[in-house]
Amino acid sequence: MVFALVVALSFGPALIYAAIIYWLDRFEKEPLRLLAGVFLWGAVVATIGAIIATTVLEQSVQFLTGSAAVAEITGTTLLAPIVEESLKGMAVLIIFLAFPHEFDSALDGIVYAAITALGFAATENVLYLYFQGYLSDGASGLTALFVLRVLLGGWGHAVYTASIGIGLAAARLHRGWAIKILAPIAGWAVAVFLHALHNSMATLLGAQFGLGGIFITLLVDWTGWAVALGLVVWAVFRERHWMRSYLREEVSLGTISAAQYRTACSLRAQIAARARGRAARQFYGTCAELAQKKHQLAMLGEERGNRARVSALRDSLVQLSPAV
């Protein structure tokens, strides 16, 4: 009974956070099947892999140093961030490689990465809340860890791994091989650094200063989250800029009407329009996809059929338009 409660307290908020991320992706929503897939990857594959790999590496450090304390600190502050961000990042890399035409912008990279990380965090929180919370200190321990890890620290993993999504998006949307190679590496390095910084502060400051150390750690975390939210807002407005730039031509071509163009380019009107039903959601989602494919055609050229995709999306909008 308690374990079921812990699962609900861990996965319930994670799914709410994932829904917020999905809502923030205002124009061209990512397929739910892919989002469910990366969430499950984080919750199952990345978590199990991280437990195994980190345990093996910690034991190796203990064998080499002869110190369990050194192995534990190294595992928490260095090995865990490297292993966990690598395993979470693999889900985003799979989307990047297997579904490149669903990976259209920096916001797409953030969405896939953050939802993968939320799946990971949900399972990790189950383990912490039950074993280190309830079994160690009963209901009070469970409650304390729930507040600390799920409510106050719930966005941590999502923000770390978002850097990997941004790095892969930069590689996706640029021609130069230097960027294609270096941007994903840089994104992974930033994710590992942020994760290691949090773990180091939580471990060292928490042990030395107690609640004061935890507060400082959370303050640094929240500052990072504010920066991440700023990046999301920038990415949303960047996509709106593409909508305004690339859909203007579609009005003159007769693909969409002037009224539909205004709605497609408005954040507020998008929300109202999508609430009208499936036809409107499909139409305005196709508008956003057309704008993104035209941007890719302008930036990357043909790139495995961009011109044909633009033509097919135009045809789809012509067919959908009368129902909107």
Mean pLDDT value across the chain: 92
pLDDT digits (tens, 9 = 90+) for 90-136: 999 999 999 988 888 899 999 999 999 999 999 999 999 999 898 98
pLDDT-based confidence at 207, cuts 50/70/90?
low
Using a CB cutoff of 8 Å and minimum separation of 24, what contacts does 214-223 make? 214/148, 218/152, 218/153, 221/153, 221/155, 221/156, 221/159
State the average pLDDT over residues 58-66: 93
Q: Per-residue pLDDT averaged across 170-177, rounded?
A: 87
Pick the more confident residue, 56 or 277.
56
Q: Tell me: the pLDDT tens digits for 255-282?
A: 999 999 999 998 888 888 878 888 888 9
pLDDT number for residue 189: 98
How confident is the model over 1-41, as pLDDT tens digits? 899 999 999 999 999 999 999 998 888 889 999 999 999 99
- The pLDDT value recorded for residue 255 is 92
Average pLDDT for residues 34-57, to the nearest whole number?
Answer: 97
pLDDT per residue as tens digits for the range 10-21:
999 999 999 999
In tens, the pLDDT along 289-317 reads 999 999 988 888 877 778 889 999 999 99
pLDDT of residue 264: 92
